[in-house]
Amino acid sequence: MTEVVSVDPQHPDPEIIARAAEILREGGLVAFPTETVYGLGADGLNPVALARLFEAKGRPATDPVILHIVDLEALPQLAREIPPAAWTLARRFWPGPLTLVLPKQPIVPDLATAGLPTVALRMPAHPVALALIRAAGVPIAAPSANRFGHTSPTTAQHVLEDLAGRIDLILDAGPTAIGVESTVVDLTRPVPTILRPGGLPREALEAILGPVAVFDRSVAGPAPAPGMLPKHYAPRAEMVVLIGSGGWLRLRLRELAIRYLQEGYRVGMLIAEEDQPAVADLPVEIAVLGSEGDLEGVARRLYPAMRDLDARGPDLILARDFGTRGLGLAIRDRLIRAAGGRVMKAEDSP
């Protein structure tokens, strides 16, 4: 049976944290909040605990996990050949929604890295997460606390829906602040490369590093970081993402919704506030993500809205994207992966 314990998000009870840390040291699994999404924690240096984590999530061993640390002193213990850029980014953005991919030290189990020679590291910016890592005394492997491939959890209830009976404890500190996972940056390449867009925008990285590449999703081979599979974060319903902007996008949203309704689909829609007048008269289920100008709010609402809409039972979810500036890049990435790459451009839709 999975126990759920409430904790203060800013000042967690030391006794609760100590108990959760003991579970981790003994090879157990604890779900806990970060500033991005809830993570499913295991001792990142214990292959047996890692194997249990992969089993609980149904996660394939070919998908690496991120090791979460609590201070910069842990960086050289887990990574080698650390370039100056890594120290610069760590000092600037940690704790925060940034994951660095670096050559790994031998102490890191192969299961944590999917057999790759690199390790993904981050320092989360949540008091509960930091207290738990510090109390455990080990780096904590923590992919999102949900069944593999499903929509990520931003509340303890989401975790319970996916993992009840599969893990030992859930620390409930309320909803997460950012709502999408960390930005993963590979510093082993000639040009720093974003493997997974996330809570730290590309623009913030480029202000420090200069040009930053974005990984080409069409490249074949094993995923070099978590969350990079063609289909991920997915609801149960089919999903289609429409890319475009302004009035043209809203026109196509309406046309597509009507088309799918005529084909007999029960239709759900993930839209912006500005889109509502264009579809308000249609017999569809709607989840409003927020305003086009509030990407932080859209990111925070994305996964809860996707889960809520999916629970209403549509056959197909039609989602609009929010561009590529700021958090828009991460939002688009999550939507496209949730749709398994099923994308239409507004100018191409019927």
Could you tell me the pTM of the whole model?
Answer: 0.94
pLDDT digits (tens, 9 = 90+) for 220-244: 456 667 766 667 888 999 999 999 8
pLDDT digits (tens, 9 = 90+) for 242-300: 998 777 899 999 999 999 999 999 999 999 999 999 999 999 999 999 999 999 999 99
Which one, of 35, 338, 33, 2, lies nearest residue 163 by Cα?
2
Query: How many beta carbons lie within 10 A of that of residue 8, not counting itself?
Result: 12
In this structure, are residues 303 and 179 in contact, taking their beta carbons and an 8 Å threshold? yes
Which one, of 137, 337, 72, 92, lies nearest residue 225 by Cα?
337
Question: Which letter, b or e, does each residue of 161-191 get, where b requires 16 or more Cβ atoms within 10 Å of its Cβ?
Answer: bbbeebbbbbbbbebbbbbbbbbbbbbbeee
What three-state secondary structure class fits 144? strand
pLDDT digits (tens, 9 = 90+) for 314-339: 999 999 999 999 999 999 999 999 99
CA distances 298 to 4, 11, 157, 305, Å, are 28, 27, 20, 10
Domains in the chain, please, with CATH?
A: 3-214 (3.90.870.10), 238-345 (3.40.50.11030)
